[in-house]
Chains A and B, each alone.
Chain A
Amino acid sequence: MAKLTVNGEEVTLDVPEDTPLLWALRDEMRLTGTKFGCGIAQCGACTVMVDGMPRRSCVTPVGSIDGGFVETIEAMEGPEAEAVQNAWTNIDVPQCGWCQSGQVMSATALLRMNRVPTDEDIDNAMAGNICRCATYVRIRRAIHDAAETLEG
């Protein structure tokens, strides 16, 4: 059992406390925008925000974040999220798309902390988000584009 606020809605999850957050989001709440990739925090596909910080939901037991605030791709909002979404669609970042909700989460988290990231800042922030279609060049460009939008 765990109580969370997910995308602004208070929910009580009637699942064992060691259930990964990713399982709870996808199977209990049907929020399937967050993807399963590796299950061992190696690929970043399952990234969500927990209390405003990016978190790999596949290795986060719901009991460990009881009372926490979770934000998923379905409800990302704010200037950074909007800038990322626009930049992503403007240059068609995704190919197959499987990893992209995790990529968007990490990119948004970076821009919330650093409005003017360098290539190195981007590489460091995105190092844990793997893309099997190798869209890395477009991801980096889109983050720069989003940063420029935010800086006006």
Chain B
Amino acid sequence: MRKLAMILAVVAAPATAETVNGLKTADEFDGIEAEDERSVALFEEVLKVVEHPRCLNCHPKGDTPLQGDDMQPHQPPVVRGANNFGAPGMQCTTCHGAENVAFTTGEGSIPGHEPWHLAPKSMAWVGLSGAEICAQLKDPERNGDRDLAAIHEHMAEDGLVGWGWHPGEGREPAPGSQEVFGELVKAWIDTGAACPTGS
């Protein structure tokens, strides 16, 4: 009987088996019948990526990026500058090249991608609730005048977003993969792009 229970438990958990690196896939939400509820559940899964340090560090509140898995203020103490690429004389490219570079003198690496920059101030996520992030993502006044298709494209295909899953030695990758993340965002949009309630 105990064996049978174990077998049933394994068979009953195929959804968990599909989860990729801590991120559920979109079809794992098919069992939620009410579309609005399914949409909210999909968005809450999307938040696992959006609220990961790999994303939040460059969507900071204010003018200073964060860094590391513990989200400390960036060192050296850089500022966003007029175009989110740093200050004249101290642009992001002063240190960040087109690819991650392993330190020659010890463990760790300096992250890199072309381009490398902060998200605009209107797209700050640090300190916002899931509901607030959701509202901001859908607001063209704050999301760079993007419609939902463009939001999906940004999440699913943008190279700098994709860096979050390939951050180099010394940094934890975002959960899942960009492909799974993109499918979650698409499923969220296809189900009405509903937002969680709350402030």
Contacts and interface: CB of A to CB of B under 8 A. Distances in A.
A41 B102 CA distance: 12
Interface string B73-84: 001111101000
A114 B94 contact: no
B21 to A, nearest CB: 28
Interface string A92-134: 0000000000000011011001100000010011111010000
Given A40-B110, A64-B97, A113 B89 contact: yes
Contacts of A67: none
Contacts of B76: 42, 44, 127-128, 130
Nearest to A130: B76
A124 B90 contact: yes
Contacts of B79: 124, 127
Nearest to B94: A54
A40 B103 contact: yes
B88 A114 contact: yes
Interface size class of chain B, counting residues whose CB lies under 8 Å from the partner chain: 20 to 34
B94 A53 contact: yes
A128 to B, nearest CB: 4
Given A56-B95, A128-B76, A109 B89 contact: yes
Interface residues of A, number: 31
Contacts of A114: 88-89
A23 B106 CA distance: 15
B89 A40 contact: no
Nearest to A36: B105
Contacts of A59: 95, 97, 101, 103, 110
A125 B89 contact: yes
A58 B93 CA distance: 13
B141 to A, nearest CB: 28
B180 to A, nearest CB: 30
A124 B90 CA distance: 7
A60 interface: yes
A60 B90 CA distance: 16
Nearest to A107: B89
Given A41-B110, A128-B76, A20 B94 contact: no
Contact of A42 (B75, B88, B93, B104): B75
A18 B90 CA distance: 24
B108 interface: yes
B99 interface: yes
Nearest to A40: B103
B104 A55 contact: no
A42 B95 CA distance: 9
A130 B77 CA distance: 11
B98 interface: yes
Contacts of A64: 97-99, 101
B89 A110 contact: yes
A12 B97 CA distance: 21
Given A39-B106, A54-B90, A128-B95, 7 more contacts: A39-B104, A39-B105, A40-B106, A42-B76, A47-B94, A64-B101, A124-B89
By Cβ-Cβ distance, the 10 closest A-B pairs, closest first, are A125-B89, A110-B89, A39-B105, A124-B87, A128-B76, A113-B88, A41-B95, A109-B89, A59-B110, A125-B90
